[in-house]
Amino acid sequence: MTRRHISSRGKGKKVVRMRYSIYSEEEVVTVYNMKQEVIIPREEPLRQVMRINGMKIHFEVDTGCSYTIMSKKEFKKLGKQTRKPKLGHCKINLRTYSGHPVPVMGAAYVKVEYKGLIKSLPVVVARGSGPSLVGRGWIQALEVDWQRVNKVTEQEERVHNMLTILPLTIYKLFRNIKAFSLFHV
Q: Write the DSSP assignment of 131-183 as a string of letters.
A: -EEE-HHHHHHTT--TTTTT---HHHHHHHHHHHHHHHHHHHHHTTSHHHHHH
Give the number of domains in the chain: 2
Q: Which CATH number covers residue 135?
A: 2.40.70.10
Residues 7, 29 within the same domain = yes
| Residues of the chain scoring pLDDT < 70 | 1-34, 81, 146-185
Residues 142, 145, 148, 150, Cα dihedral to 10°: 20
In a domain, 16, yes or no: yes
pTM: 0.58
* Cα–Cα distance measured from residue 162 to residue 26, given in angstroms and rounded to the nearest whole number: 63
Host domain of residue 80: 47-141
Contact partners, residue 94, CB within 8 Å, separation at least 6:
67, 69, 101, 102, 104, 124, 126
Residues 129, 51 within the same domain = yes
Residues 64, 25 within the same domain = no
Contact partners, residue 9, CB within 8 Å, separation at least 6:
none
In a domain, 183, yes or no: no
